[in-house]
Amino acid sequence: MRYKNNLSTLSFGCMRLPKNILESEKLILHAINCGINYFDTAYIYPGNEEQLGKILEQNNCRNKIKIATKLPHYMIKKNEDLDKYFQIQLKRLRTDYIDYYLMHMLPDAETWQRLESLGILEWLEGKKKSGAIKKIGFSYHGGSKNFIELIDIYPWEFTQVQYNYMDEHSQAGRLGIEYAASKEIPVLIMEPLRGGLLANNLPSSAQSFINSYTPKRSAAEWALRWLWNQPAITTILSGMKTMDMLDENIRIANNTDENSSNPNDFKFYEKLKEEINKDIKVGCTGCSYCMPCPFGVNIPACFRCYNASYSDNYFKGIKEYIMTTAFSKDLSSAGQCRQCGKCIEHCPQSIKIPDQLNNVRHRFEHPIFKGLRWFIKHKMLRQK
């Protein structure tokens, strides 16, 4: 296994581990034996921290790996909650320290400033001094502008973002990850296959294009190679559910060098994206020239999620829509649009943005979305 910044270049995303603990145990132990040393979980993944902790304790291998888990900042209402949730996580994971501790789905600088007002800086400093937390970072699902603002707001020791060849210019994007890397902040990649969609659920025309191309590689291998080619990336997390998947990803990791792609490969990826984008509804490139919206709409994120609900699947799209627009104090969804038209003046693609936002609103903002937003705002984000 190759390593960068003391992390294996392939990491294990535990969210999709099999529910059967014996199957999960085999996967985790095999991964450790093959040199994978970063295992990622989170407070809100049901039963996941407990499962990982139990397996590590039973096999006496806690000291062989680095555990990453996440603070549910959206559930923090007062200073005492910081330690409350952290202690629960230590108990679940059967450990007395966390190697990599992330602020989970940190959306913007304002949210971080709220945490500062609750004393998180002093709390983190205390945990670092005691050795209970080794490194501090954040995971992120928004656009590049907010990501760069967050990178500059605190001396982060790593960051974890969604990134793949379809999200090159959305979410944090290439602009964001290269900015973080320029600050010598290790960038950890999640959703390299968009939850498996870039491996197993491509449009038929895209899959046919891959099948006809030489060299012969699987859709998953092409997607992973695109990432490992980039020097800004430290490691790629994969939610590996079978031994075959695990062994295949290890093989690819061990045989892909940085800067190893050639001009023909780059042309291949552009053509592949064209085939996938045939199902795209809005031709938004995520440039953010339309921003900021005077009414708070996160326009690029709305369109990215809307497109994903067609090109990937509806559940994927609305899940990202909720994470991106509803988990901050001020709602940034399409429903905030007041049809002022200011955004149209700045769009290089000449998209009729207000009309398209109305389509987004109709697709996503049904009673279930509104109910979840009420719960997030009044139960998860409400300050006491």
Question: Across residues 83-93, what is the average pLDDT?
Answer: 98
Q: Is there a single domain that holds both residue 109 and residue 214?
A: yes
Question: Across residues 26-49, what is the average pLDDT?
Answer: 97
pLDDT digits (tens, 9 = 90+) for 167-208: 898 889 999 999 999 999 999 999 999 878 799 878 888 999
| Count: domains in the chain | 2
Helix (H) or strand (E) holding 221: helix 219-228
pLDDT digits (tens, 9 = 90+) for 331-340: 899 999 999 9
Residue 321 CA neighbour count, 13 Å, CB half:
32
**pTM score, whole prediction:** 0.80
Q: Is there a single domain that holds both residue 198 and residue 298?
A: no
pLDDT digits (tens, 9 = 90+) for 114-159: 999 999 999 999 999 999 999 999 999 888 999 999 999 999 999 9
pLDDT-derived band at 25, boundaries 50, 70, 90: very high
Residue numbers of the domain that contains 366 = 280-380
Q: Is there a single domain that holds both residue 242 and residue 188?
A: yes
* DSSP-derived secondary structure letter, 377: I
Q: Is there a single domain that holds both residue 61 and residue 199?
A: yes
What is the distance between the alpha carbons of residues 95 and 355, in angstroms, rounded to a whole number? 52
Tokens representing 207? 């899959």
Please say which residue of 237, 269, 301 terminates a domain.
269
The region of weakest confidence among 116-125, 220-229, 337-346 is 337-346
Q: What is the pLDDT of residue 348?
A: 65
Sign of CA dihedral 109, 111, 112, 114: positive
pLDDT-derived band at 376, boundaries 50, 70, 90: confident
Residue 184, phi then psi, degrees to nearest 5: 60, 35
Please say which residue of 269, 296, 318 terminates a domain.
269
Is the Cβ–Cβ distance between 145 and 173 less than 8 Å? no
Q: Is there a single domain that holds both residue 155 and residue 15?
A: yes
Residue 79, domain member (yes or no): yes
